[in-house]
Protein backbone atom coordinates (compact mmCIF):
# COMPACT_ATOMS: atom_id res chain seq x y z
CA UNK A 1 0.00 0.00 0.00
CA UNK A 2 1.34 3.42 -0.93
CA UNK A 3 1.05 5.97 1.88
CA UNK A 4 0.73 9.56 0.69
CA UNK A 5 2.37 12.24 2.81
CA UNK A 6 0.72 15.54 3.77
CA UNK A 7 2.57 18.83 3.24
CA UNK A 8 3.32 18.85 6.97
CA UNK A 9 4.78 15.33 6.81
CA UNK A 10 6.86 16.27 3.78
CA UNK A 11 8.11 19.16 5.89
CA UNK A 12 9.46 16.66 8.43
CA UNK A 13 11.01 14.62 5.64
CA UNK A 14 12.66 17.75 4.26
CA UNK A 15 14.40 18.27 7.60
CA UNK A 16 15.49 14.64 7.70
CA UNK A 17 16.67 14.96 4.11
CA UNK A 18 18.86 17.92 5.01
CA UNK A 19 20.77 15.78 7.52
CA UNK A 20 21.51 13.14 4.87
CA UNK A 21 22.36 15.78 2.27
CA UNK A 22 24.76 17.56 4.61
CA UNK A 23 26.30 14.26 5.68
CA UNK A 24 27.15 13.34 2.08
CA UNK A 25 28.69 16.79 1.52
CA UNK A 26 30.73 16.29 4.70
CA UNK A 27 31.88 12.82 3.64
CA UNK A 28 32.85 14.09 0.19
CA UNK A 29 35.47 16.27 1.90
CA UNK A 30 36.88 13.18 3.65
CA UNK A 31 37.24 11.08 0.49
CA UNK A 32 40.93 10.75 -0.38
CA UNK A 33 43.54 8.03 -0.89
CA UNK A 34 44.47 6.45 2.46
CA UNK A 35 41.22 6.88 4.36
CA UNK A 36 39.55 3.60 5.37
CA UNK A 37 35.88 2.97 4.77
CA UNK A 38 35.55 2.18 8.49
CA UNK A 39 36.80 5.70 9.24
CA UNK A 40 34.21 7.15 6.85
CA UNK A 41 31.55 5.18 8.70
CA UNK A 42 32.73 6.64 12.03
CA UNK A 43 32.56 10.15 10.57
CA UNK A 44 29.01 9.39 9.43
CA UNK A 45 27.83 8.01 12.75
CA UNK A 46 29.23 11.02 14.62
CA UNK A 47 27.72 13.48 12.15
CA UNK A 48 24.22 11.99 12.20
CA UNK A 49 24.04 11.66 15.97
CA UNK A 50 25.40 15.20 16.46
CA UNK A 51 22.41 16.40 14.40
CA UNK A 52 20.04 14.67 16.81
CA UNK A 53 19.13 12.06 14.19
CA UNK A 54 19.58 8.29 14.04
CA UNK A 55 21.55 6.39 11.39
CA UNK A 56 18.85 4.39 9.63
CA UNK A 57 21.17 1.79 8.12
CA UNK A 58 22.79 0.78 11.44
CA UNK A 59 21.11 -2.45 12.55
CA UNK A 60 18.71 -2.50 9.59
CA UNK A 61 18.21 -6.24 8.92
CA UNK A 62 21.43 -6.62 10.92
CA UNK A 63 23.57 -4.28 8.79
CA UNK A 64 26.58 -3.34 10.94
CA UNK A 65 27.24 0.29 9.88
CA UNK A 66 25.80 3.74 9.24
CA UNK A 67 26.90 3.82 5.60
CA UNK A 68 27.25 1.34 2.77
CA UNK A 69 30.68 1.79 1.17
CA UNK A 70 30.80 0.21 -2.28
CA UNK A 71 34.13 0.35 -4.13
CA UNK A 72 34.50 -0.19 -7.91
CA UNK A 73 32.81 -3.53 -8.78
CA UNK A 74 30.69 -3.40 -5.62
CA UNK A 75 27.22 -2.28 -6.72
CA UNK A 76 25.69 -1.58 -3.31
CA UNK A 77 25.69 -2.75 0.35
CA UNK A 78 29.47 -2.80 0.81
CA UNK A 79 30.35 -3.13 4.50
CA UNK A 80 32.83 -0.54 5.86
CA UNK A 81 36.16 -2.12 6.76
CA UNK A 82 39.86 -1.41 7.30
CA UNK A 83 40.32 -1.28 3.52
CA UNK A 84 41.77 2.06 2.48
CA UNK A 85 40.78 4.11 -0.54
CA UNK A 86 43.30 4.27 -3.37
CA UNK A 87 43.78 6.69 -6.22
CA UNK A 88 41.60 5.71 -9.17
CA UNK A 89 38.82 4.01 -7.20
CA UNK A 90 35.20 5.00 -7.33
CA UNK A 91 33.22 4.63 -4.10
CA UNK A 92 29.47 4.62 -3.70
CA UNK A 93 28.31 5.87 -0.33
CA UNK A 94 24.71 5.17 0.53
CA UNK A 95 23.33 6.42 3.82
CA UNK A 96 20.22 7.57 5.59
CA UNK A 97 18.93 9.27 8.70
CA UNK A 98 15.82 9.19 10.85
CA UNK A 99 14.80 12.55 12.30
CA UNK A 100 11.63 12.87 14.38
CA UNK A 101 10.54 9.48 13.04
CA UNK A 102 10.95 10.39 9.38
CA UNK A 103 13.41 8.74 7.00
CA UNK A 104 15.72 10.03 4.30
CA UNK A 105 17.93 7.96 2.00
CA UNK A 106 20.55 9.07 -0.52
CA UNK A 107 23.70 7.89 -2.27
CA UNK A 108 26.56 9.38 -4.26
CA UNK A 109 29.45 7.77 -6.12
CA UNK A 110 32.65 9.68 -5.43
CA UNK A 111 35.90 9.68 -7.42
CA UNK A 112 39.10 9.02 -5.45
CA UNK A 113 41.78 11.27 -6.89
CA UNK A 114 42.44 10.83 -10.61
CA UNK A 115 40.00 8.30 -12.06
CA UNK A 116 39.92 6.73 -15.53
CA UNK A 117 37.75 8.38 -18.16
CA UNK A 118 35.74 5.15 -18.39
CA UNK A 119 34.79 5.19 -14.70
CA UNK A 120 34.23 8.94 -14.61
CA UNK A 121 31.75 8.78 -17.47
CA UNK A 122 29.91 5.88 -15.85
CA UNK A 123 29.53 7.91 -12.65
CA UNK A 124 28.37 11.03 -14.51
CA UNK A 125 25.87 9.16 -16.64
CA UNK A 126 24.39 7.43 -13.61
CA UNK A 127 23.87 10.79 -11.89
CA UNK A 128 22.40 12.38 -15.02
CA UNK A 129 19.98 9.48 -15.45
CA UNK A 130 18.56 10.15 -11.98
CA UNK A 131 17.50 13.63 -13.15
CA UNK A 132 15.93 12.13 -16.30
CA UNK A 133 13.87 9.98 -13.96
CA UNK A 134 12.91 12.87 -11.68
CA UNK A 135 11.70 14.85 -14.72
CA UNK A 136 9.04 12.14 -15.16
CA UNK A 137 7.91 12.23 -11.51
CA UNK A 138 4.76 14.27 -12.02
CA UNK A 139 1.13 14.07 -11.01
CA UNK A 140 -0.90 12.00 -13.46
CA UNK A 141 2.12 10.22 -14.91
CA UNK A 142 2.96 6.58 -14.33
CA UNK A 143 5.74 5.00 -12.34
CA UNK A 144 6.98 3.29 -15.52
CA UNK A 145 7.71 6.74 -16.98
CA UNK A 146 10.45 7.24 -14.35
CA UNK A 147 11.81 3.71 -14.78
CA UNK A 148 11.87 3.93 -18.56
CA UNK A 149 13.60 7.33 -18.63
CA UNK A 150 16.43 6.06 -16.41
CA UNK A 151 16.84 2.83 -18.38
CA UNK A 152 16.84 4.54 -21.75
CA UNK A 153 19.39 7.18 -20.80
CA UNK A 154 21.89 4.62 -19.52
CA UNK A 155 21.39 1.93 -22.14
CA UNK A 156 21.69 4.46 -24.97
CA UNK A 157 25.21 5.12 -23.64
CA UNK A 158 26.13 1.44 -23.56
CA UNK A 159 25.64 0.78 -19.84
CA UNK A 160 23.43 -1.81 -18.20
CA UNK A 161 20.82 -1.52 -15.49
CA UNK A 162 20.85 -3.67 -12.36
CA UNK A 163 17.59 -5.67 -12.21
CA UNK A 164 17.84 -7.33 -8.82
CA UNK A 165 17.75 -4.11 -6.80
CA UNK A 166 15.32 -1.20 -7.15
CA UNK A 167 14.31 2.12 -5.61
CA UNK A 168 11.39 2.38 -3.22
CA UNK A 169 8.80 4.46 -1.47
CA UNK A 170 10.01 6.05 1.77
CA UNK A 171 8.39 7.74 4.76
CA UNK A 172 8.22 6.54 8.33
CA UNK A 173 9.80 3.35 6.99
CA UNK A 174 12.95 3.29 4.88
CA UNK A 175 11.41 0.85 2.41
CA UNK A 176 7.76 1.42 1.56
CA UNK A 177 5.64 0.70 -1.49
CA UNK A 178 5.98 1.10 -4.38
CA UNK A 179 9.11 -0.53 -5.78
CA UNK A 180 10.82 1.89 -8.18
CA UNK A 181 12.71 -0.15 -10.80
CA UNK A 182 15.32 1.53 -12.99
CA UNK A 183 13.88 -0.30 -15.99
CA UNK A 184 10.36 -0.53 -17.33
CA UNK A 185 7.78 0.66 -19.78
CA UNK A 186 6.57 4.23 -20.11
CA UNK A 187 2.83 4.61 -19.55
CA UNK A 188 2.67 1.57 -17.26
CA UNK A 189 2.62 1.06 -13.51
CA UNK A 190 0.93 2.93 -10.68
CA UNK A 191 -0.32 6.44 -11.26
CA UNK A 192 1.86 9.14 -9.71
CA UNK A 193 0.18 11.58 -7.35
CA UNK A 194 0.93 14.47 -5.03
CA UNK A 195 2.10 13.19 -1.63
CA UNK A 196 4.20 10.33 -2.97
CA UNK A 197 7.77 10.23 -1.71
CA UNK A 198 10.21 7.98 -3.56
CA UNK A 199 13.86 7.03 -3.22
CA UNK A 200 14.92 7.05 -6.86
CA UNK A 201 18.27 5.31 -7.24
CA UNK A 202 19.82 4.20 -10.51
CA UNK A 203 22.40 1.42 -10.12
CA UNK A 204 24.33 1.24 -13.37
CA UNK A 205 27.01 -1.20 -14.56
CA UNK A 206 29.80 -0.78 -17.09
CA UNK A 207 29.46 -4.40 -18.22
CA UNK A 208 26.80 -6.99 -17.53
CA UNK A 209 23.64 -6.14 -15.57
CA UNK A 210 24.08 -9.37 -13.60
CA UNK A 211 25.10 -9.15 -9.96
CA UNK A 212 26.09 -11.55 -7.18
CA UNK A 213 26.07 -11.37 -3.40
CA UNK A 214 29.31 -12.25 -1.61
CA UNK A 215 29.51 -14.72 1.29
CA UNK A 216 29.08 -11.94 3.86
CA UNK A 217 25.42 -11.87 2.82
CA UNK A 218 25.54 -8.15 1.97
CA UNK A 219 28.15 -7.10 -0.56
CA UNK A 220 26.56 -6.97 -4.00
CA UNK A 221 29.10 -7.10 -6.85
CA UNK A 222 28.86 -7.15 -10.63
CA UNK A 223 29.07 -10.69 -12.01
CA UNK A 224 31.91 -9.66 -14.37
CA UNK A 225 33.63 -7.54 -11.68
CA UNK A 226 33.51 -4.45 -13.87
CA UNK A 227 32.70 -1.12 -12.15
CA UNK A 228 29.24 -0.02 -11.06
CA UNK A 229 27.85 3.37 -10.00
CA UNK A 230 24.95 4.43 -7.80
CA UNK A 231 23.17 7.74 -7.30
CA UNK A 232 20.10 8.28 -5.13
CA UNK A 233 17.91 10.94 -3.61
CA UNK A 234 14.67 11.04 -1.65
CA UNK A 235 12.15 12.91 -3.81
CA UNK A 236 8.67 14.19 -2.85
CA UNK A 237 5.89 15.02 -5.28
CA UNK A 238 4.25 18.24 -4.06
CA UNK A 239 1.69 20.63 -5.54
CA UNK A 240 4.66 22.48 -7.01
CA UNK A 241 6.15 19.36 -8.64
CA UNK A 242 8.99 17.04 -7.71
CA UNK A 243 11.15 18.28 -4.84
CA UNK A 244 14.48 16.59 -4.14
CA UNK A 245 14.78 16.45 -0.34
CA UNK A 246 18.39 15.24 -0.09
CA UNK A 247 20.17 17.59 -2.47
Site residues for Mg ion per CB under 5 A:
105, 199
CB closer to Mg ion out of 48 and 115: 48
CA 217 to chain centre: 19
What are the binding residues for a divalent metal cation?
Answer: 94, 105, 168, 201, 232
CB closer to Mg ion out of 95 and 115: 95
Residues 6+ apart with CB under 8 A from 144: 184, 185, 186, 187, 188, 189
- Min dist. Cβ of residue 116 to Mg ion (A): 27
CB atoms inside a 10 Å sphere around CB 120: 14
CB-based burial, 169-201: b 16+ in 10 Å, e otherwise: bbbeebebebbbbbbbebeebeebebbbbbbbb
CB closer to Mg ion out of 41 and 105: 105
What are the binding residues?
Answer: 77, 94, 105, 168, 175, 201, 232
CA 97 to chain centre: 13
- Phi, psi angles (nearest 5°) of residue 42: -65, -40
Name the residue whose CB lies closest to Mg ion: 199
- Min dist. Cβ of residue 118 to Mg ion (A): 26
- Min dist. Cβ of residue 32 to Mg ion (A): 26
Residue 71: HSE in the Cβ half-sphere, 13 Å Cα cutoff: 20
CB closer to Mg ion out of 160 and 246: 246
Nearest CA to 223 among 241, 238, 211? 211
- Min dist. Cβ of residue 158 to Mg ion (A): 25
What is the distance between the alpha carbons of residues 44 and 54, in angstroms, rounded to a whole number? Answer: 11
CB closer to Mg ion out of 103 and 205: 103
- Min dist. Cβ of residue 63 to Mg ion (A): 12
Amino acid sequence: MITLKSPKEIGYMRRSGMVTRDLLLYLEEKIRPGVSTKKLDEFAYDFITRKGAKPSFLGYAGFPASICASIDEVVVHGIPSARRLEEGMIIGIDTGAILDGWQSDAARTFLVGEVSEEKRRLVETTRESFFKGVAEFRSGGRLGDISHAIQEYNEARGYSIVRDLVGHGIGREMHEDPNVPNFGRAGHGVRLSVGMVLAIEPMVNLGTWKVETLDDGWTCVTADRKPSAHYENTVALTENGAEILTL
